[in-house]
Amino acid sequence: MKTETESTGIPDLSEKGRDASGRVISMNRRLFMQLLVFGRARDEETLVAALESAAFPATLYRDVNDPHGVGLLTWNEQPAFFVGELRAFLRRAPFADLKLKPAFTMLGRTYSIGYEADLPHVLFNRPIQRATQPETPWHVWYPLRRKGAFEKLPPAEQRDILSEHGTLGARFSAGEFGNDIRLDCRGIDANDNDFVIGLIGKELFPLSAMVQAMRKTRQTSEYLERLGPFFVGHAIWRRAGGFYMDPATS
């Protein structure tokens, strides 16, 4: 029997998962996350004070590669937040006095792979927790684009390639070396990238080692067209907020 989507031809854009019994579950909600990077940040205390007085959640970084640089990570379920509340905030001092570095701007959305049993956790709570944990202040963010040849591979071969990559990442996570935040940015990235990746850890070296290890996988060595630029930040201020709330109970 055909599903409703197959019968009508209308795409089903909801995020999919599976519960403990194997039944397909779905949720048509997701989180948008944006990284903005600035130079000329000579007074970090005023930036922190401004963020403290604001209502939205965020993480503020020192830019390792620019002694006058900072990065601001924000997130919201509604993308209008970035052109509304956040835009108005950034157009006022002290952030209006900074110099934006557009080459490092990254915007993406959380997504599911199809087997997750807890979609609210995967799409909302987990990325927020990882972005704001005081114990893991080192964050490395970068975009990537796969070669078009990857999309032409049989689904089974694609799964094998992605599984190799995922297994390696799971090993680093099991060793408490680092975790990741994975965002899909297709169609919303200025440079036509496919994904935005955030590597999160207690120390910087394991995150570098993770990138080094990933170079040997088939996905990176054969099917990546480009990677970067890389933003390396050390979190100096964070506010979580924005966790998933069930509309039925909120």
The structural domains of the chain, ordered by start, are 134-235 (3.30.70.1030)
Which pLDDT does position 141 carry in this prediction?
Answer: 98
- The C-alpha atoms of residue 4 and residue 62 are separated, in whole angstroms, by 49
Which pLDDT does position 212 carry in this prediction?
Answer: 95
Which pLDDT does position 6 carry in this prediction?
Answer: 55
- Regions of the chain where pLDDT drops below 50: 1, 248-250
- The C-alpha atoms of residue 187 and residue 140 are separated, in whole angstroms, by 22
| pTM for the predicted model, two decimal places | 0.92
| Residues forming beta bridges with residue 15, ordered by sequence position | 27
- The C-alpha atoms of residue 6 and residue 3 are separated, in whole angstroms, by 5
Phi and psi torsions of 59, nearest 5°: -130, 130
Which pLDDT does position 7 carry in this prediction?
Answer: 66
Given a contact cutoff of 8 angstroms between Cβ atoms, the answer to whether 161 and 223 are in contact is yes
Given a contact cutoff of 8 angstroms between Cβ atoms, the answer to whether 222 and 146 are in contact is no
